[in-house]
Chains A and B, each alone.
Chain A
Amino acid sequence: MNIIALATVRSQVAQPDIFGEYSWIFNLLFYIIFVVFIFYGQRIQMYVMLREVEGSLYKLKYIKDKGRRIAIETIKEIGKPQTDPAARVDRFLEYFTIAPQSLDPAGVVWKLEHILDVRDTRFKDEVKLMAPSADETQTNNLENTLEAAMALNYIYKVVRHYYLLGKRTLSLYIIMQLQMILPLVMREAEAYASALKAFAYGQPIGDGVGALVAAKLMYGHEKRKIPKDCVVATVPIEGRTAYVVKAEGPGGNVGKPGDAIKTVIEENEGKIANIIMIDAALKLEGEEVGEVAEGVGAAIGGPGVDQFKIEESILKYRIPINAVIIKEDIGDAVSPMRKEIFDAVDKAIERIKQVILERTKEGDKIIITGVGNTIGIGQ
């Protein structure tokens, strides 16, 4: 009984009549909030998500506009056009490519190659019209800059499309999907944003690490051009004759390693003991940037045309193919080359030499191909 009395007294002491007179306001407020959340909880959640997407959309718009501005400024600076290139750049940013029909997949690779060739020629012509004073290297760099600006423009438009669609239809599922995928989209957009400056200034990017390995191997040896937009040098390595292939630099260029490898194989009538391809590869979270790994197969990205051609050529003469990859994430691949990636070049060369010693005999002929965008990398 004493305890009950004490509790009563304590409650009276601890809670003076502060909330007594107006406590009904709090009660009413609580019930209103409760009812509102029962009926409008999902809608409130949706508005919170929309706000989050809106914030990212602001950033995407800022990045996209910055990309356009950098592209126009670079064209004006390098190309010295007589008219304002802004309108032409805006038209270029809306450019699209229609992939070939693949209902009947036979021969689709050649159709795709043709479409990509047409696109490439059209892009180069457009850039030359925009920047008449630019040399070949600068034209390639400008083309890459415009492509990065184009990618940013496209990302912004797609995100805006789903944002507006979600807002208009008030569909939680559209907004939710967009909000869930947004961190990855933003990462890619930020990577392209840092790529813009790299392309505009002609700085080497992470994707060019394969080309850098090949450049280091061929430096000081005689080079010759081979189709398309590639160079090859004959380099003696560990008693073997290595044909080192890379895209022709230092302009932003990936060349056509498929055609280049085919040419070298045909020149040697298929007498190639081994092919080693070096390329940058996307790392998984938790892996270190610049980690070197080894495997088999054609290490080459892109739309698949070059990989197809390489596989066709090696199948014809039954040539073994090895791959050395240097790991990096998407942001590192398109932004200026990180020191860790640059340092991985020597490790990759050591690994190549190891493969040569283990997989070929003295006097053999081999092909070493460095794949990737050779921007900022000479030979």
Chain B
Amino acid sequence: MSKTSSSASTKISSFVLVIIFVTLAFSFAALALAVYAYPEHPDFAMYLIVIGFFAASMAAYMLLQMRRRLLRLRIELPPITTTIECRKCGFKSVREFQRGDYIFKEVEPCQKCNEKMLITAIYREVKEKPKESFPF
């Protein structure tokens, strides 16, 4: 297990990238050539258009796949919220979680009554995607 192994897993092969961009360049060349060839050789131009579009779409697909792979590697962690409450006056404050926080930990004094406040909740809020409607 080397230190570079994590970067190796996220690395995109430069060889594949070169091939994709060369294909993309050829496909555009084929399309440009088709435009020039169309008046005199319309049938040949049609083949060039088919080949050009096919190659361009393949290259675009490969690029999108690479982007998707990189996006899939990201792990998003939602923010964690800490709720602090004063048991005496009921004053409540919400802040981001800090290392060392735990539920029922006594923290800084209350701004209103100077009584020690208590961490009463630590949780994360998940924004759920709209659910598919199904009859079950």
Chain B residues within an 8 Å CB radius of A212: 103
Binds B, one of A3-11, A16-24, A34-42: A16-24
Q: How far, in whole Å, are A219 and B103 apart by their CA atoms in the complex?
A: 11
> Which of A19, A61, A250, A340 lies in contact with B103, CB distance below 8 A?
A250
Query: Does B125 lie at the interface of the complex (its beta carbon under 8 Å from any beta carbon of A)?
Result: yes
Partner of A376, one of B9, B75, B103: B103
- Are A62 and B124 in contact, CB atoms less than 8 angstroms apart? no
Q: Are A68 and B105 in contact (CB under 8 A)?
A: no
Number of interface residues of A (CB under 8 A): 45
Question: With A18-B46, A90-B1, A201-B99 known to touch, is A339 a contact of B73 (CB < 8 Å)?
Answer: no
Pick from A22, A250, A341: contact of B47, CB under 8 Å? A22
Q: Mark B102-136, 1 if CB is under 8 A from A, else 0.
A: 11110000000000000001111110000000001
Q: Which of B46, B47, B102 has the most CB of A within 10 A?
A: B102
Bound complex: CA A16 to CA B42 (Å): 10
Residues of chain A within 8 A of B125, CB atoms compared: 338-339
> Interface residue count for B (Cβ, 8 Å)?
31
A379 within 8 A of B: yes
A-B contacts, CB under 8 A, total: 100
Interface readout for A23-58 with B: 1 if CB under 8 Å, 0 if not?
A: 000000000000000000000000000000001001
On whether the beta carbons of A193 and B5 are closer than 8 Å, the reply is: no
Q: Give the complex CA separation of A194 and B75 in angstroms.
A: 8
Spell out B's residues near A (CB within 8 Å).
Answer: 1, 5-6, 9-10, 42-43, 46-47, 69, 72-73, 75, 77-78, 80, 97, 99-105, 121-126, 136
Q: List 29 A-B contacts (CB under 8 A).
A: A16-B43, A20-B43, A22-B43, A55-B69, A58-B9, A59-B72, A61-B9, A62-B6, A65-B5, A201-B80, A202-B101, A203-B80, A204-B122, A215-B104, A249-B102, A336-B77, A336-B78, A337-B123, A337-B124, A338-B123, A338-B124, A339-B125, A342-B121, A342-B123, A376-B101, A376-B102, A377-B103, A378-B105, A379-B104
Chain A residues proximal to chain B, CB less than 8 Å: 16-22, 55, 58-59, 61-63, 65-66, 68-69, 90, 93, 190, 193-194, 197, 201-204, 212, 215, 219, 249-250, 286, 335-342, 376-379
Contacts A201-B99, A250-B105 given; 17 further ones with Cβ under 8 A? A18-B42, A58-B9, A62-B73, A65-B1, A66-B6, A66-B75, A194-B75, A201-B97, A202-B101, A203-B101, A249-B102, A250-B102, A336-B122, A337-B122, A337-B123, A342-B121, A378-B102
